[in-house]
């Protein structure tokens, strides 16, 4: 995996009594840290009084015991870990977004990416809205707040706001008395909920976060569903359900989600194993060992080894103490950076023909360095197998690929890429077989537009990640879809 980043993770908890909800959110965010490592935040609702803290950095660094103590106790809370797909990754774009408005307070955490942000932001600014961040999540918060002024309830305002929102959004929202979970009509990004033995309801991007706080999984939210958690129980609002075909992002299964999560009924670990088996069937090769690139290639490597009969082994040791705060080396020392993050187990690969499994190739730079590490350690041959098709198109729904400019597969053939990476052979997961990785019982299709260019929604031209970091007067394409 290289140059593709996670999106965001959201987590919420609703209790019938005051308790240490911030601790539960802390554990939940720790379980979702893989989805975003730029910033994090928690907002606690103490019977209508909001206390929040958010900052750039990792969960364990930002939420010290002192910070958690200051958040205090409450009956509900929401948390967020972020990787920026719209707007920069600094503290001003950290979430949850907390809003005070005429009819009360709201805290919002968002995973996904809107495709009509420029249109909505321009319309809101023309009516006097002042934005403090450069992300699309504040646009969602403003749109809901705008609808709240003429709606009888927060959930009615969300229902109305969804008529204007386009793109990917899984949301957890707090009002003074309710927690609300929302999944967009295409269900691009995952969102599920469960219940603890103490009666608390928990909402999270992935089921692994439910496990982290002792909550039993109930189900995934349906596409377009709004779930309202309040003292009287849980209500489902289905006004926007079945308006569009559900198209969850295939890259959640290939890379984003944790292997121990289950998304929309599909085990992520099993999906990746099936991808490895498909690779073994499609691109067999005479080799001595199969190894996976930690951590994203490990599950597919298991599948490849099982299907091929080639022994699986540990070829790399990953330095688990390096996160996104690691200081990137200068251009001439980048190979040293790869060595610090990954170290080859020399006696495993020396003199061997190696099948190397990874989840994707973007620019090709990191993949080339990993192949070189193996050959420098004495590997006789390196056969690279990728558990995804080639990236050929931008993603507008939350994956950090906003142009074709740096995609190596747009410039070179498979054979040319193999040569550039010094690999002895290269094989990608065939596009026509990609949905096989999800198994036979899957009741939905998937979005695979980054591989084939067929988008489930129309998208605007002005979708660059940092478009709101530009100078005034540089926006265009502000027509509504």
Task: Read off the pLDDT band of 339 (50, 70, 90).
Answer: confident
Residue pLDDT, tens place only, 170-192? 999 999 999 999 999 999 999 99
Task: Say which range, 187-191, 285-289, 329-333, 433-437, has the weakest mean pLDDT.
Answer: 329-333
First to last CA, the chain: 34
Residue 463 has pLDDT above 70, yes or no: no
Annotated active-site residue 410? The verdict is no
In order, the DSSP letters of 372-390 are: HHHHHTT-SEEEEEESSPP
DSSP-derived pairing of the beta strands 192-195 and 179-183: unpaired
Query: In this predicted structure, what is the pLDDT of residue 481?
Result: 33
Burial of 102 (0-12, 13-18, 19+ CB in 10 A): exposed
Cβ-based neighbours of 77, under 8 Å, separated by 6 or more: 12, 13, 21, 22, 24, 25, 42, 43, 44, 45, 71, 174
Q: What is the number of H-type helices and E-type strands within the chain?
A: 15, 21
Which listed residue (8, 249, 395, 447) is catalytic?
Answer: 8
Residue pLDDT, tens place only, 18-70? 999 999 999 999 999 999 999 999 999 999 999 999 999 999 999 999 999 99
Name the E strands within 103-146: 104-114
Residue pLDDT, tens place only, 81-139? 998 654 445 678 899 999 998 889 999 999 999 999 999 998 988 887 788 887 899 99
Q: What is the mean pLDDT of residues 226-254?
A: 96
Residue 406 or residue 229, greater confidence: 229
Residue pLDDT, tens place only, 280-325? 999 999 999 999 999 889 999 999 999 999 999 999 999 877 654 4
Query: In this predicted structure, what is the pLDDT of residue 91?
Result: 76
């Amino acid at each position: 995996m290289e140059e593709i980043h996670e999106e965001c993770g959201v987590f919420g908890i609703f209790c019938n009594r005051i308790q240490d909800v911030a601790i539960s959110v802390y554990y939940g965010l720790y379980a979702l840290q893989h989805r975003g490592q730029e910033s994090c935040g928690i907002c606690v609702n103490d019977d209508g009084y909001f206390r929040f803290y958010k900052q750039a950095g990792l969960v364990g660094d930002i939420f010290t015991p002192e910070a958690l103590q200051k958040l205090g106790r409450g009956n509900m809370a929401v948390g967020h870990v972020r990787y920026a797909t719209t707007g920069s990754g600094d503290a001003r774009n950290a979430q949850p977004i907390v809003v005070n408005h005429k009819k009360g307070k709201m805290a919002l955490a968002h995973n996904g990416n809107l495709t009509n942000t420029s249109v909505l932001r321009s319309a809101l600014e023309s009516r006097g809205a002042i934005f403090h961040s450069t992300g699309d999540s504040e646009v969602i918060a403003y749109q809901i707040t705008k609808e709240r002024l003429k709606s009888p309830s927060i959930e009615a305002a969300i229902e109305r706001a969804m008529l204007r929102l386009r793109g990917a959004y899984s949301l957890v929202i707090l009002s003074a008395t309710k927690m609300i979970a929302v999944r967009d009509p295409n269900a691009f990004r995952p969102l599920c909920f469960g219940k603890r033995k103490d009666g608390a309801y928990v909402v999270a991007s992935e089921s692994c976060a439910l496990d982290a706080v002792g909550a039993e999984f109930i189900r995934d939210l349906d596409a377009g569903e709004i779930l309202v958690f309040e003292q009287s129980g849980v209500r489902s609002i289905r006004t926007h359900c079945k308006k569009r075909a559900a198209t969850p992002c295939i890259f959640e299964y290939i890379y984003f989600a944790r292997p121990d999560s289950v998304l929309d009924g599909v085990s992520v670990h099993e999906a990746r194993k099936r991808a490895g088996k498909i690779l073994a069937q499609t691109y067999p090769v005479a080799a001595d060992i199969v190894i996976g690139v930690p951590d994203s290639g490990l599950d597919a490597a298991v599948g490849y080894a099982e299907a091929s009969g080639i022994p699986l082994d540990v070829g790399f040791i990953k330095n688990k103490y390096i996160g996104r705060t690691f200081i990137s080396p200068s251009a001439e020392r980048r190979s040293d950076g790869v060595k610090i993050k990954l170290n080859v187990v020399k006696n495993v690969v020396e003199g061997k023909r190696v099948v190397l499994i990874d989840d994707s190739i973007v620019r090709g730079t990191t993949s080339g360095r990993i192949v070189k590490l193996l050959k420098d350690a004495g590997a006789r041959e390196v056969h690279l197998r990728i558990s995804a098709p080639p990236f050929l198109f931008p993603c507008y729904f939350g994956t950090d690929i906003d142009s074709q400019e740096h995609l190596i597969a747009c410039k070179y053939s498979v054979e040319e890429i193999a040569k550039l990476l010094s690999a002895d052979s290269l094989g990608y997961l065939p596009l026509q077989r990609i949905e096989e990785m999800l198994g036979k019982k899957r009741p939905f299709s998937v979005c695979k537009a980054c591989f084939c260019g067929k988008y489930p929604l129309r998208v605007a031209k002005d979708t660059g990640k940092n478009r709101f970091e530009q100078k005034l007067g540089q926006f265009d394409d502000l027509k509504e879809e």
